[in-house]
Amino acid sequence: MNKFFKKFLIVLSVLIVMFPIINLQTIQAEDDPEVNASAAMAFDANTGQIIYSKNAEKKVAIGSITKIITLYLVTQAIKDGKIKESDQLTPTTEQSEMTQDDELTNVRLDTDKAYTVKDLYDAAWIVSSNSAAMMLAQKVSGDQASFVKLMRKTLKSWGIKDAEINNVSGLNNSDLKEGMYLGNSDAENKLSVNDIAIVTKHILNKYPEILKTTSQQKLTFPEGSETKTYPSLDLLLDGARDYQEGYEFDGLKTGTTKQAGDSFVGTLPMGNSRIVTIVMNASGDDSDQDKRFRTTQALAKYVKDNFTNKKVLSEGQTVTDGNKKYKNKNDVYMWLSKDFNENSLSYNVSKTDLGFKVKADKKTVKMIATNTPGGYLPYPKEQVVIKKIKKVQKSFWHQITEFFENLF
């Protein structure tokens, strides 16, 4: 009997130690995606919830993904009325010459021709025209160096403190002429996947209409007295060679340089939400032009096959943070693996700009789940820079006059 009891205790002890390991609530989806890239992420564009990430904090070269920042600021300038889509712009000699180099661009621009802001805007998004991006930046800020400073300032306001942004196009500075960049002559733009996710969420939040442009399969662009048609560089769009039915990508931006490799930020509607995928420096043969898109598809398939966008809270439901109770203002959905019990979620008042709205004591705040498998983007509240008003120094005689006026 004693021997049996000792054996029973040993077996029981082993089971107790093993239990946390096999607890279903701590297990993510069984099959990890085959993400052949230096860094990657999949997240919900609406909520900022991370579903998958790999080396998300590692700073990497971003190539033409830079243009998401550039075109955010150009879109902002159009919306604010600082520039018009109908404005006519003419390229400089240097910008025109760059369009004759097949490795740097694919849309021809001539110095004796004028192009509308709308044509250049579409060219920068759809076929990643570097010179088009430069011309737009100059139109907004007067020169490219000033625009780069605006890009840096914008990223800092979004909580991205250590960005390396040197030019508006994403090329290596060595490919550019003097006046087209800041920093060292061989510097390249670099961000982390976390940073790219923050940038992408900002543009999709504020200007979702950009998807009308990024979803276009072709660009029709004026060339001489005629027009020329260019296919989109996004090969996941409907009709392109890497398109797969059920995965309706409608953006967003490719990036390619020697340092950046083949990279892609994609986005597609999924369920009742929108997913963003980020694949940086996809691995594979140099001649393989589809590797970033196959990797992106694998990442999107992983999300679709292993996760469900579940309703975890209903409108009017009570949510607790510590001893304080809040009333939820809307239905709340989260991406959870199919074996995850949503009743095990816990919530805190959000310290970032993410979260769902709740109300207590006539005050509305945001709350966020603290134990989702992937967590959330580091998405701080945007810092608004308030210009200080200089106090006008009154003259000595003005002060004396005011003194006597105030006596009567």
Catalytic residue among 38, 53, 128, 131: 128
Q: What's the token pair of residue 235?
A: 């090969």
192 classed as catalytic: no
Catalytic residue among 38, 53, 64, 141: 64
Structural contact between residues 377 and 201, judged by C-beta atoms closer than 8 angstroms: yes
391 classed as catalytic: no
Could you count the other beta carbons within 10 Å of the beta carbon of residue 100?
11
Give me the long-range contacts of 24-32 (CB less than 8 A, separation at least 24).
24/339, 24/340, 24/341, 25/340, 25/341, 25/344, 27/337, 27/339, 28/337, 28/373, 28/374, 29/302, 29/305, 29/306, 29/307, 29/337, 29/338, 30/306, 31/302, 31/305, 31/306, 32/302
How far apart CA 27 and CA 340 sit, in angstroms, is 8
- Give the torsion through C-alpha atoms of 350, 355, 357, 359, to 10 deg: -20
Q: Name the nearest CA neighbour of 296 among 284, 309, 287, 313.
A: 284
Catalytic residue among 67, 190, 201, 253: 67
Structural contact between residues 317 and 256, judged by C-beta atoms closer than 8 angstroms: no
CA angle 379–381–377, rounded 5-degree value = 10
Could you count the other beta carbons within 10 Å of the beta carbon of residue 158?
20
How far apart CA 321 and CA 266 sit, in angstroms, is 35
64 classed as catalytic: yes
Residues with catalytic function: 64, 67, 128
